[in-house]
Structure 1
Amino acid sequence: MTSTEAFPITLAFPPQGHFTQPYLALPCLKAWLHQGGHRDVELRDLSVEAYDHFLSADYLDYARHRAAACLETERHETHGTPELNFENMRAWRAAVETEVSAQALIDTIDQAKEVLRGPDCFDPEKYIPAVRALYHGLRVVSAAHHPSELTPHNFTMRYANDRSKEILAATLDAQENPFIKFFSEEVLPGLIERQPRVLGLSVIYGSQLIPALTLGRMVKEALPNCHVTAGGGFLAYIGHKLTQAPGMHVCLDSIIFHEGEAPLLALCNVLKAATEGETVDLSEIGGLTWFDRREELQVRNNGPAHPVKLDEAPVPDFRGLPFELYFSPETVIPYDINRGCYYGECTFCTLPTVIGPGYRTRNASTIAKHVAELRDHYDSTHFNFITDCMPPGMIRDLPEALIESNAGITWWSDARVEPKAYDEQGAQRLYASGCRKLLFGYETATPRLLKLMKKGQSLKATAQVAENCNKAGISVTWYAMVGFPSETREEARATLAFIQENAPAVREVSLQTFHIDEVAEVYHQPDQFGIKILSDEEADLQLYHDYEASSGMTQQEAAEMFEEMMTGLRESLPLFKGDNIFYFMQKSHYFLQLARGLRPDEFVELCAQRKQKLQARDAHPSLTPTTGLGLRDLPFSYTSVIQTLGHPLARAARPDFLTGRFVTDAEEEARAQLGGVPRGQSVLAYDPLNHEFLEISPDARKLIEALGQAGSLEALLDTLSPDAPDTGRTYEKIVSFARDLHRGGLLTVNCTTLPEARTNPRPLTQHA
């Protein structure tokens, strides 16, 4: 074993990733390094650290003032232009939302975080407002760095992440890149004090690329003797292009491809054996591409690394991760039961290639042993089994091993439709082992397309597997796509219809538009799928490509169909209706409800009860304006702006959620086809209790202000003269108006506003 004294290593997960549970890559790497003799390994989840930092009262106050200074709301409102132009809509929306909501968010953000991290998270009446507060807090953060946008699911800038020049520019743009300040003040001082010899960055998503390279650049400037390496799923796609891009050597020293355990250990051993600051030969390390700085700067591509024997890999080591910062009431521990895909035939899928090399699995007994260790060490009984799909044998063996070992856990994972394995008995065995949620690749209801995709499954089997799991108490999610080459609108609607037919068994649907990347079979065999690949010469890091199809929908038509299908899903699936969809959007939150013992139907009823309470709100005599209510007069319709920016053309003008790239000419096309929003007086209100934006009329604002002056609805109604004409009609109008504003959260019941003798006030009746 190599001696590793005084060789500190820091492994970091850069922003932006989900903030509800830890990621698995770094704990796997740490365990492997420990096994190899490196004991001083620090883990940093900089993504959740950044979210916690940004979503604080101090930062939101800073962001509010920064946004006011840079967005110049009045410039869009006072020049007398007849309409709000498309190119100004996002800035105007960011400005008015920040102005009306920031103070309420500053006052309540800590409470919202407490809700999501504690038992109140299980109460929909408290959960939904808390989640909204986080979303809206991030809109304030984004406004301060406009046009950059940070959400719970993405980070984008005006710089495209498939162009190296733009990426490098983004790493230096302190105005629009919020992570420069965050890294400088919250991360870099600790790294300088620690003096790590190796900094490893795990880049799984495209949204992490700019933050990761920003940090790499800053560390290389501050710590020239620290070797900065990076790996992860996204770099497995574009890593070779990235190292060939001019200037990337200022951000990185090397990239590890595919499985990282063995290459990272070998890299650390070589660097440890060298004198600090010495440029060394790394050519013997498999799976590594590196910048050779010994003489003239050159990029060296080593051969592939040998895969690790997964069943012999140590249990992941999560020690050091900030469990207290994740926005979940209980920890869900990720654990990889296999790597790669045993099926590996789908023509659209690239995961078997980038996760490689090859398919390997752990034995069921090893999994059960590791699960018990993780359960006991981290005091959590909730697991997310990381897998592309479990092979039929594992579907049988793993539940039996968990049951026999009295694991006492609950878990969820991805899965593949295997009708023999997921029969009624198999589904019941899975539930008995703790399985509460499974996600299956359904994709489409068109057999012709399933054949093109090489899915190897039938619609009958897909529906039957879902039904068997549902009967056993397991919640089923289907993955579906729209826009696969040659798909027609009618076929896409059939996909939606089939979901709706199976809605009692299918609780959630993860729907995405089809994208072509350079690894998939669709890209390499375009003639077979009737498409022409379109490349962008300026996109030197291009992974995803536009295309022209000889039949079926265009990409734009597929984007429009996506919106139509999502509308249908919201109408058909209880978990997608209204703000229930937040449970789907926050990773593991719905699962944790099931893990508490609720069946899917029971959870749906819990959500329905919240809705019923909101709709039951009436015009209570003590209604007064909600404390902390934000109101702002608008010269343009907020709702119209939201609708315009939600149009598929407008969405294409921003970096895509999946790819992070701009669609060519989308901004110009959206401007030409969507136009602007004409002037029209309205008011934007922000409910500080439920954290909702509502557009109301100027008359509604007048009523709110009159209620505030009168002290209560009853007191206001008492000012009406019974002898005045149309008093009855005015009375009814005020009561109806107040009822709607109460249901919207802008008015609240406050019995302290009534005389002491009437804390149980009389019901409102028709004025004579």
Structure 2
Amino acid sequence: MSDQDFPIALVFPPQGHFTQPYLALPCIQAWLRAHGFSNTRLHDANIEAYDALLSRRGLERARQRARERLPLARFAARQELRFSELEGFRASAEQAVAADGLVESVEDAKRVLRGERFWDVEQYLPAVRTLYQSLRLVSAAHSPSQLTPHNFTTAYGIEHSDQVLAAIADERALPFWDYYVEELLPRLVAQRPRLLGLSIIYGSQLVPGLALARLVKRALPDCHVTAGGGFLAYIGKKLLHARGADGEPAFAGVLDSLVFHEGEAPMLALALALERGEPLHGIGSLSWYERGGGATRVVENAPGHPIRLDDAPLPDFDGLPLDKYFSPELVIPYDVNRGCYYGECTFCTLPTVIGPGYRTRRAATIAEQVVALTRKHGARHVNFITDCMPPGMLSDLPDELIRREAGITWWADARVEPKAYTEAGARKLYASGCRKLLFGFETATPRLLKLMQKGQSLRATLEVADNCARAGISVTFYAMVGFPTETREEARATLEVLLANKHSVREVSLQTFHIDEIAETYHRPEAFGIRILPAAGDLSLYHDYEAESGMTQSEAAAMFEEIMTALRREYPLFSGDHIHFFMQKSHYFLHLARGTTPDQFADACARRTRDKLALGARDDLCVRDGLALVELAHSWAEAVRRLGTSAARAIRPDFLTGRYVEGAREAAQRELGSLPRARRVLAWAPG
């Protein structure tokens, strides 16, 4: 059989970031094509779905559905609105006043982000706000589902297999359904792949990805549907073993197999076995459904051998709509290594799920391939995908990039290595094109750093940040609140250190601590003074816990809000709407790559914030074009305020875990009460 007779489709489903392509599937496509499967096609369903939803046609459809599902008249005669009705009221009011204007402005907003007007902050920020508001309209059309640039949730919990099964069949809950049925599925049916692979990296992709798998299995029953990716590395075996009401594997009608860890070798072996009609038992890192004798059982193959990264071909982005990403210039992802050379942090599980082991490419290979990639695609910017670059690479890679006159700018995650990030080392990194580095800072408390086994000191971390800042490299710190036994005082001490060093640390990516079933904190809870509570569902990854000392989980959540409030107040890039530069992945980096220094960018943000605060009433005020008004029977502003409280946010799935908190809605109703009748007028203007 010719490989042309064995088509393969690789799909990245919604929801992920929309500013640059993801790397896994281009690596797998390159591997498959290099080994004879030239009829392999990539489909970035994430960016294509966003582009379809955020279009004039997409918003016209959303406007019609939102008005049918959430008519404003439903709330007009009510004397008061219960807390459970506030989200619907807010969405109804917003679509009533803004939908027409968003339909008219959304296409131009995309053009701003993709073109030269991106660089003008007074055009960029209104365009970003337009896209955010447009996604609120899309969400209203599928309420209570919510789609943002950073997440997707439904009314169904992803910790329970029965709810996931219900979600993937509920087209009203899925904003992507029309795109699937009208665009992607016909394209796949025309290709008729024998093998379809889904990359599910995030929990926000689970329901959209499995919904697509379900549609494909119904349209192409002979197509073998497999999936892999970071999120499934955590919960994939639970998914395969989940049982339906009939006692049979719940997802056997949706999937045929799952690939664990890296996908190149398993996908090639799977394609060869399917092409030849051979059994699947010998394929490393594959788990699958074996059907026969009227029953279906789960088979878990042994782990496979990792590939040698230097043998991997150039990642192949052919087939991706590179002009559709919401950025003016392409940022190409490229993996320097896989796994973590340190691998000791007690809270971290990434080295385990990426697995197996730690491997890196040679600096010469990286430089050679990066130069080839950027020249092939006419790009100048690279996101090096790595948990942390080893110290030797921090010297060798810049040397290779400089020697080859690569002419690129780049950003990456990094580990604090004082001997590598000296003043001279940081200057060489900058000369090679480095403009932004993200370090695992975690906490300012030495006791907690030791408990985390970070292998770094506060003094060394701040010294590394200062050296990078002096070289012109923007520094981001990953920080954590709520690690077991952390006290409020220790968390506030971390905040004080962050505020005192905002001259060198430009951004802080803050998370609350969560326990998953792979981390050392889960397997040795007594060492961390915690008691693990039972899993909430049969697909649960994260667990609640009780701490012997320090903050409780709810206290840590409140401390998160306290720290974020202070960062929003004090960090220029976090002030007001400037936080959009931080939230849109590569957008801040692109300004650095264009020649703006971190100091210049921070000063511009601070100056703009001061200017806005200084604005007062003027004699020349006039009504803006496109201003829309709608009369309301209740206060939209008060509804928004209540929905922004910590009690209200607790009813939505956690951003990281996707979990619903049991009893949160009832607690919010008790705390926040009902919204009384109050006649108001809501105004909206484009941007």
TM-score range, shorter chain: over 0.9
Contact 2:506-2:571 within 8 A present in 1 as well: yes
| Corresponding residue of 1:377 | 376
Q: Name the amino acid aligned to 1:130.
A: A
Displacement of 1:555 in angstroms is 1.0
Displacement of 1:5 in angstroms is 2.6
Establish whether residue 207 from structure 1 lines up as the match of residue 204 from structure 2.
Answer: yes
For 1:343 and 1:430, locate their aligned partners in 2 and report how far apart those are by CA, in whole Å.
Answer: 21
Distance 1:499 1:609, change over 3 A: closer
- Map 1:205-354 onto structure 2 (within 5 A): 205-246=202-243, 247-274=250-277, 281-295=279-293, 296-354=295-353
For 1:474 and 1:684, locate their aligned partners in 2 and report how far apart those are by CA, in whole Å.
Answer: 44
| Corresponding residue of 1:399 | 398
CA distances 1:30-86 after superposition (whole Å, capped 9, x unpaired) = 010011111011101000000000001111111111111112333333132xx3211
Contact 1:124-1:607 within 8 A present in 2 as well: no
2:685 to 673, 678, 687: 687
| Corresponding residue of 2:99 | 102
Establish whether residue 154 from structure 1 lines up as the match of residue 157 from structure 2.
Answer: no
| Corresponding residue of 1:669 | 667
Q: Partner of 2:236: helix, strand, or coil?
A: helix
Q: Partner of 1:548: helix, strand, or coil?
A: strand
Q: Partner of 2:176: helix, strand, or coil?
A: helix
Q: Which shows bigger deviation, 194-203 or 289-298?
A: 289-298
Q: Compare relative contact order (CA 8 Å, sep 6+) and give the higher one, 1 or 2.
A: 2
Q: Partner of 2:172: helix, strand, or coil?
A: coil
2:185 to 188, 193, 200: 188
Q: Name the amino acid aligned to 1:47.
A: N
Q: Partner of 1:581: helix, strand, or coil?
A: helix
CA distances 1:198-245 after superposition (whole Å, capped 9, x unpaired) = 110000000000001000000000001111000000000000000011
CA distances 1:277-304 after superposition (whole Å, capped 9, x unpaired) = xxx5211100000111243211110000
Q: Partner of 2:63: helix, strand, or coil?
A: helix
Flag structure 1 segments of 5+ consecutive residues without an equivalent: 275-279, 692-768
Establish whether residue 71 from structure 1 lines up as the match of residue 74 from structure 2.
Answer: no
CA distances 1:301-351 after superposition (whole Å, capped 9, x unpaired) = 000010100111111001110011100000000000000000000011000
Displacement of 1:679 in angstroms is 2.6
Establish whether residue 435 from structure 1 lines up as the match of residue 448 from structure 2.
Answer: no
Displacement of 1:604 in angstroms is 2.3
For 1:487 and 1:76, locate their aligned partners in 2 and report how far apart those are by CA, in whole Å.
Answer: 45
Q: In terms of Rg, which structure is larger? A: 1
Contact 2:572-2:603 within 8 A present in 1 as well: no
| Corresponding residue of 2:517 | 518
For 1:398 and 1:420, locate their aligned partners in 2 and report how far apart those are by CA, in whole Å.
Answer: 16
Q: Partner of 2:662: helix, strand, or coil?
A: coil
Displacement of 1:178 in angstroms is 1.9
For 2:213 and 2:179, locate their aligned partners in 1 and report how far apart those are by CA, in whole Å.
Answer: 14
Contact 2:535-2:542 within 8 A present in 1 as well: no
Establish whether residue 419 from structure 1 lines up as the match of residue 422 from structure 2.
Answer: no
2:644 to 620, 623, 646: 646
Q: Partner of 1:91: helix, strand, or coil?
A: helix
Displacement of 1:683 in angstroms is 2.1
For 1:470 and 1:343, locate their aligned partners in 2 and report how far apart those are by CA, in whole Å.
Answer: 24
For 1:686 and 1:647, locate their aligned partners in 2 and report how far apart those are by CA, in whole Å.
Answer: 23
| Corresponding residue of 1:715 | none
Contact 2:195-2:224 within 8 A present in 1 as well: yes
Contact 1:171-1:180 within 8 A present in 2 as well: no
Contact 1:556-1:648 within 8 A present in 2 as well: no
Q: Name the amino acid aligned to 2:216.
A: V
| Corresponding residue of 1:122 | 119
| Corresponding residue of 1:698 | none
| Corresponding residue of 2:603 | 605
Displacement of 1:606 in angstroms is 3.3
| Corresponding residue of 1:766 | none
For 1:603 and 1:476, locate their aligned partners in 2 and report how far apart those are by CA, in whole Å.
Answer: 13
For 2:183 and 2:144, locate their aligned partners in 1 and report how far apart those are by CA, in whole Å.
Answer: 23
Displacement of 1:613 in angstroms is 5.9
Displacement of 1:190 in angstroms is 1.0
1:573 to 568, 571, 574: 571
Contact 2:575-2:609 within 8 A present in 1 as well: no
For 1:476 and 1:406, locate their aligned partners in 2 and report how far apart those are by CA, in whole Å.
Answer: 25
Q: Partner of 1:199: helix, strand, or coil?
A: strand
| Corresponding residue of 2:558 | 560
CA distances 1:601-638 after superposition (whole Å, capped 9, x unpaired) = 11223334544665676666554321211212223222
Q: Name the amino acid aligned to 1:415.
A: A
For 2:613 and 2:342, locate their aligned partners in 1 and report how far apart those are by CA, in whole Å.
Answer: 49
| Corresponding residue of 2:539 | 541
Establish whether residue 179 from structure 1 lines up as the match of residue 176 from structure 2.
Answer: yes
Q: Partner of 1:15: helix, strand, or coil?
A: coil
| Corresponding residue of 1:368 | 367
Q: Name the amino acid aligned to 1:238.
A: I
Displacement of 1:181 in angstroms is 2.4
Q: Name the amino acid aligned to 2:113.
A: L
Q: Name the amino acid aligned to 1:644.
A: R
For 1:148 and 1:178, locate their aligned partners in 2 and report how far apart those are by CA, in whole Å.
Answer: 8
CA distances 1:84-133 after superposition (whole Å, capped 9, x unpaired) = 21111111111111111111111110000000001111110100000000
How does the TM-score come out when normalised to structure 2? 0.97
User: What count of residue pairs does the alignment treat as equivalent?
Assistant: 680
Q: Name the amino acid aligned to 2:132.
A: Y
CA distances 1:249-279 after superposition (whole Å, capped 9, x unpaired) = 11111000001000000000111112xxxxx
Q: Partner of 1:413: helix, strand, or coil?
A: strand
| Corresponding residue of 2:162 | 165
| Corresponding residue of 1:584 | 582
Q: Partner of 2:173: helix, strand, or coil?
A: coil
Distance 1:612 1:480, change over 3 A: closer
Distance 1:548 1:682, change over 3 A: same
1:134 to 128, 131, 136: 131
Q: Partner of 1:667: helix, strand, or coil?
A: helix
CA distances 1:451-505 after superposition (whole Å, capped 9, x unpaired) = 1111111000011000000000000000001111111111111111000111100
For 1:187 and 1:294, locate their aligned partners in 2 and report how far apart those are by CA, in whole Å.
Answer: 32
For 1:121 and 1:534, locate their aligned partners in 2 and report how far apart those are by CA, in whole Å.
Answer: 48
Distance 1:445 1:389, change over 3 A: same
Contact 2:75-2:633 within 8 A present in 1 as well: no
For 1:379 and 1:420, locate their aligned partners in 2 and report how far apart those are by CA, in whole Å.
Answer: 35
For 2:97 and 2:620, locate their aligned partners in 1 and report how far apart those are by CA, in whole Å.
Answer: 25
| Corresponding residue of 2:592 | 594
How does the TM-score come out when normalised to structure 1? 0.87
